[in-house]
């Protein structure tokens, strides 16, 4: 095995076990299973034992001391579904456990090239019985409903009885933590078992959520390589298959095929479960592994980034990209949660993280999956329209700050609903997709309506003041500054949204008048409204300080006192866990990149010196309490020429979860940070920017690296960038003529070509 494709951690320390449950999750965008031990831990060891289905949710009430108009009364949360991980091995009456007997050898690792997670154990029981066990797991990338566990058991010094107990347990709860607002604090008992069924050799547990009434069926079939006697133990909430293996075969192979089907995707989850498990169990586990390898071979062909000179960073980067693939929804009903499918942090909600930190990777490396993420926003457009009416807007759509099915799930409006910028973020992602792919058919079917409806909101929450268009009472990306007037990020992103709504209207008017007419009739859009869009974006107010020569985060920001960083001890971070929000709101202190992020996304709205000045000012007062922050500061440090800072911020993103630098990986991985790692490479060190008619690159290799290679897709072309100390080699395989600007010189590529550009 190649070390750079392997993640391993052989610790059996209780704290490491909890973190590694997230690290070693297996998922495929539909199902996700935490890296728990099949045989469980001893009593006293803490665990978050979880299995999740993307977008499978429960509706739970939100409690308020005082509730105002249009506060959401309920929210959705991801459900910990039926546990089918349980497998126990009993050797002549002794139950296998890594915490009893003696371990002669133990390895635990994730293979990111072939798509499986494995434990290899050489164990001696308390009575001296010696066995080797190899346990392998996958969440199939080609059969999305399938989670499979494979056991290879080798007798070493005995011929006695081996018993394999395999359970499907419907008695599960969601994880709660009253002391951390980033984790659910209530509603643990969600799922009720409806039926426990044995049909031939197939086991099934079907359950239903209490309030949303969604159904999940867990259907299991086993395959054993040796003769056995089978007995079944069944009760109201679980079913267990007990295999007694009398054979003296030295090697035993045992496969557990677990199929999850839910009522959001399957009309009859129970029947579908039986059909799918019969189909997938016809494949051997080796064949399933081969399928994984083939899928990943295609994925890594474009997605892989090669760093020569730093093995740990190389490993961390590949892990982050692998987790993005595992986490991303593979259908328009689902998106990508803040924790992927590795845990219950943020209750399985979707945020703006997707559009700003994760979609760039998929747009440039896997546009088919990017389309699913964009389609998801279209499927919840009606919910966004409904939310806009609740907020008092007569037209348009206001997308929920955090959601699963489209309804607002944020109970704290100053850092939730007030973040109207999510509208512009979503519109921005559709535009970026269009600029990279030129897929106008997709924009007509899904994007245009979203772009127009999001743009309408700015006209209603903004107003003209002395000829300038201003937007009051919003919160920007920095959640340590809430409910302000003219947040720079919000205003400049609203400008981009309005500008492209008008531009798209003109483009459709030229290319497909009939479609435009039909869409305008559907949403009651007219040319007068488009003219208002033009007037608003052309006169958008963008706060600027003549004194500091920076774009100001908002109208009141510079009038506040600076936070006392010198006398704030390390244990008081993150600030949100130790200070009342009002205390934080009164100071110049940032949770994460705000104006600096805007300068990255729409850099052409201001000059380079202002961007640099803004970076210098805001960096000093940013805590990076959000995992979203360091990637942006890395990208913009590269932009303004702070190469060492760019590298150091990148380091903070690359192994955030593997090294648990935020101390909360146990709650799940940080998917937005993982997208940010890729962005730090491609947008940061390579300086990639997506322009209206070309891609620009300004490569700068970090001093500590010998070479950096990556690929991306642009308008049907595969583009490979090879960054070296003294030059950059760019290889292009275009399907049609494309333009690349490299170090400010524009090149047109009509045929496949490799070009060497000397470092400037």
Could you give the residue numbers annotated as active site?
Answer: 479
In angstroms, rounded to a whole number, what is the distance separating the alpha carbons of residues 387 and 408? 8
In angstroms, rounded to a whole number, what is the distance separating the alpha carbons of residues 552 and 544? 5
Q: Are 8 and 107 within 8 A, CB to CB?
A: yes
DSSP category for residue 524: T
Q: Long-range CB contacts (< 8 A, 24+ apart) of 60-67?
A: 60/186, 60/187, 60/190, 60/211, 62/411, 63/186, 64/411
In angstroms, rounded to a whole number, what is the distance separating the alpha carbons of residues 642 and 634? 9
Place of tokens 């359970």: 167
The vertex-75 CA angle with 73 and 80, nearest 5°, equals 150
Q: Which two tokens stand for residue 304?
A: 């892989």
Backbone angles phi, psi at 756, to 5 degrees: -100, 130
Question: What letters, b where the CB count within 10 A reaches 16 and e where it falls short, cover 719-736?
Answer: bebbbbeeebbbebebee
DSSP 478-520: -TTS-SBS--HHHHHHHHHHHHHHHHHHHHHHHH-HHHHHHHH
Class of residue 492 by CB neighbours under 10 A (exposed 0-12, middle 13-18, buried 19+)? buried
DSSP category for residue 118: E
Grouping H, G, I as helix, E, B as strand and the rest as coil, residue 713 is strand
Grouping H, G, I as helix, E, B as strand and the rest as coil, residue 335 is coil
Place of tokens 């997506």: 690
Find, among 64, 50, 76, the residue nearest to 666 by Cα. 50
Q: For strand 738-742 and strand 695-697, is the pairing parallel, antiparallel, or unpaired?
A: parallel
Q: Are 229 and 193 within 8 A, CB to CB?
A: no
In angstroms, rounded to a whole number, what is the distance separating the alpha carbons of residues 446 and 499? 18
Torsion of CA 33, 135, 172, 270, to 10 degrees: 80
DSSP category for residue 475: -
In angstroms, rounded to a whole number, what is the distance separating the alpha carbons of residues 715 and 690? 12
């Amino acid at each position: 095995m190649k070390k750079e494709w392997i993640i391993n951690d052989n610790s059996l320390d209780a704290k490491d076990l909890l973190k590694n449950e997230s690290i070693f999750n297996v998922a495929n965008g539909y199902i996700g299973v935490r890296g728990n031990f099949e045989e469980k831990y001893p009593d006293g060891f803490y665990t978050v034992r979880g299995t999740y289905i993307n977008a499978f949710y429960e509706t739970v009430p939100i409690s308020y001391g005082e509730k105002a108009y249009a506060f959401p009364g309920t929210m959705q949360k991801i459900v910990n579904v039926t546990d089918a991980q349980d497998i126990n091995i009993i050797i002549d009456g002794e139950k296998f456990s890594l915490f009893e007997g003696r371990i002669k050898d133990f390895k635990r690792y994730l293979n990111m090239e072939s798509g499986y997670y494995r434990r290899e154990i050489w164990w001696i029981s308390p009575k001296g019985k010696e066995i080797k066990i190899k346990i392998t797991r996958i969440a199939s990338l080609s059969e999305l409903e399938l989670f499979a566990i494979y056991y290879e058991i080798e007798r070493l010094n005995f011929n006695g009885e081996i018993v394999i107990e395999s359970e499907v347990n419907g008695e599960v709860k969601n994880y709660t933590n009253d002391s951390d607002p980033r984790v659910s604090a209530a509603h643990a008992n969600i799922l009720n078992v409806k039926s426990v069924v044995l049909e031939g050799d197939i086991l099934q547990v079907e359950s239903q959520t209490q309030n949303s009434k969604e159904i999940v069926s867990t259907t299991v079939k086993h395959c054993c390589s040796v003769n056995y006697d089978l007995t079944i133990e069944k009760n109201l909430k679980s079913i267990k298959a007990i295999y007694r293996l009398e054979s003296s075969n030295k090697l035993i192979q045992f496969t557990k095929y677990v199929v999850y089907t839910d009522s959001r995707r399957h009309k009859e989850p129970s029947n579908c479960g039986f059909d799918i498990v019969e189909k997938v169990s016809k494949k051997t586990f080796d064949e399933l592994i081969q399928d994984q390898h083939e899928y990943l071979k295609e994925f890594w062909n474009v997605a892989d980034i090669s760093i020569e000179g730093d093995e740990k960073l190389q490993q961390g980067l590949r892990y982050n990209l692998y987790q993005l693939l595992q986490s991303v929804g593979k259908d328009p009903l689902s998106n990508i949660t803040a924790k992927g499918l590795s845990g219950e942090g943020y209750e399985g909600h979707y945020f703006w993280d997707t559009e700003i930190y994760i979609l760039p990777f998929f747009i440039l490396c896997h546009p088919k999956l990017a389309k699913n993420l964009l389609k998801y926003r279209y499927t919840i457009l009606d919910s966004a329209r409904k939310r806009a009416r609740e907020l008092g807007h007569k037209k348009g759509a206001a997308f929920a700050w955090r959601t699963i099915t489209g309804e607002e799930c944020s109970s704290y409006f100053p850092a939730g609903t007030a973040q109207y910028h999510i509208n512009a973020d979503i519109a921005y992602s559709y535009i970026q997709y269009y600029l990279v792919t030129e897929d106008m058919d997709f924009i007509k079917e899904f994007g245009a309506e979203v772009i127009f409806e999001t743009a309408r909101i700015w006209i209603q929450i903004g107003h003209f003041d002395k000829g300038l268009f201003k937007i009051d009472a919003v919160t920007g990306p920095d959640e340590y500054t809430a409910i302000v007037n003219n947040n720079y990020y919000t205003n400049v992103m609203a400008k981009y949204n309005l500008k492209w709504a008008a531009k798209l209207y003109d483009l459709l008017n030229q290319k497909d008048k009939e479609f435009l007419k039909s869409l305008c009739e559907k949403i009651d859009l007219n040319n007068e409204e488009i003219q208002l869009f033009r007037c608003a974006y052309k006169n958008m107010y963008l706060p600027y300080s003549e004194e500091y020569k920076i774009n100001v985060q908002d109208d009141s920001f510079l009038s506040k006192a600076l936070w006392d960083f010198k006398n704030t001890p390390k244990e008081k971070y993150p600030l949100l866990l130790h200070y009342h929000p009002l205390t934080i709101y009164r100071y110049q202190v940032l949770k994460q990149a705000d104006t600096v992020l805007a300068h990255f996304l729409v850099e052409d709205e201001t000059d380079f010196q202002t961007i640099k000045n803004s970076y210098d000012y805001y960096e000093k007062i940013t805590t990076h309490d959000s995992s979203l922050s360091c990637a942006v500061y890395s990208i913009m440090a590269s932009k303004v020429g702070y190469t060492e800072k760019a590298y150091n911020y990148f380091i903070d993103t690359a192994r955030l979860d593997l090294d648990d630098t935020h101390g909360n990986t146990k709650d799940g991985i940080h998917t937005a940070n993982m997208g940010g790692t890729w962005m730090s490479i491609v947008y940061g060190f390579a300086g990639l920017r997506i322009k209206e008619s070309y891609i620009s690159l300004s490569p700068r290799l970090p001093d500590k690296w010998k070479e950096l290679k990556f690929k991306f897709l642009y308008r049907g072309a595969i583009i490979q960038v090879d960054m070296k100390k003294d030059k950059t080699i760019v290889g292009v395989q275009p399907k049609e003529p494309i333009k690349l600007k490299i170090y400010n010189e524009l090149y047109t590529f009509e045929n496949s070509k490799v070009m060497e550009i000397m470092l400037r």
